[in-house]
Amino acid sequence: MHPWRTFIALAAFAPLVLASGPVYKWVDADGVVHFSDQPQPGAEKLDIGTVQTIPMPVAKAAPAKPKPTEEPKKANVGLGYTGIRVTSPTAGKTFTDEPVQVSLELTPELQKGHTLTWYLNDAPLGQTDASFTLDHLGRGSYTLYASIADASGGDSVSSPTVTFYVHQPSMLAPQNPRH
């Protein structure tokens, strides 16, 4: 019998097994094996015994992400900036096992006495340059934003948050360079 016919026959047979009633098997004139819960002339009654079933866990929906209660921070006139935004990476970008280029567009340029701080997943990065590279990020989802504070640390302005993703090939994948 052709392997696909066997697969189709078994796939058709599966619901009958789960029903746990009598099952009949016969081979027609073309050599095709049939299964049914109805007796047929020349059919063999199969004893399938008790079928063990395992309930599938119910997938829970991810909790809804709360909507931000405030608009992205606008440029603070007291600091004199009219624009601050992360230009790289772009929102929603996916990186596959590669360095992430980070850059900030700031209008006007960083003023004397002001401090630039980058935040990755709300933790300070220790980076103070407007452009740099993030190497060796693990697989996952990341949020990134920049914040500028004046010399006293009292006033600050932040860019809108950008979310990006990092994928890495499986260690078992043949295309993985570390394989």
Tens-digit pLDDT profile for residues 20-53? 578 889 898 888 898 888 888 889 988 877 767 7
Q: What's the rounded Cα separation, in Å, for the pair 5 and 10?
A: 8
12 vs 117: which has the higher pLDDT: 117
Same domain, 33 and 108: no
- Band of pLDDT at residue 75, cut at 50, 70 and 90: very low
Q: What's the rounded Cα separation, in Å, for the pair 104 and 131?
A: 6
* 148 close to 157: Cβ distance less than 8 angstroms: yes
Token duo for residue 179: 């394989």
pLDDT, residue 97, reads: 77
Ramachandran sector of residue 178 (left: φ over 0; alpha: ψ -120 to 50; beta: rest): alpha
* 1 close to 32: Cβ distance less than 8 angstroms: yes
Same domain, 87 and 157: yes
Token duo for residue 134: 């993030």
pLDDT, residue 48, reads: 77
- Band of pLDDT at residue 89, cut at 50, 70 and 90: very high
Same domain, 96 and 150: yes
105 located within any domain: yes
Same domain, 81 and 161: yes
Helices (H) and strands (E) in the chain, counts: 1, 12
108 located within any domain: yes
By DSSP bridging, strand 94-96 and strand 162-167 are parallel
Same domain, 84 and 150: yes
Token duo for residue 34: 């049939």
Q: Which structural domain range is residue 115 located in?
A: 77-167
| 1-7: long-range pairs with CB below 8 Å, 24+ | 1/31, 1/32, 1/33, 5/32, 5/33, 6/33
Sheet of 100-107, strands arranged across: 83-88, 100-107, 131-134
In the chain, the number of structural domains is 2
20 vs 134: which has the higher pLDDT: 134
Percent of the chain with pLDDT over 70: 71
Q: What's the rounded Cα separation, in Å, for the pair 106 and 118?
A: 13
CATH number at residue 151: 2.60.40.10
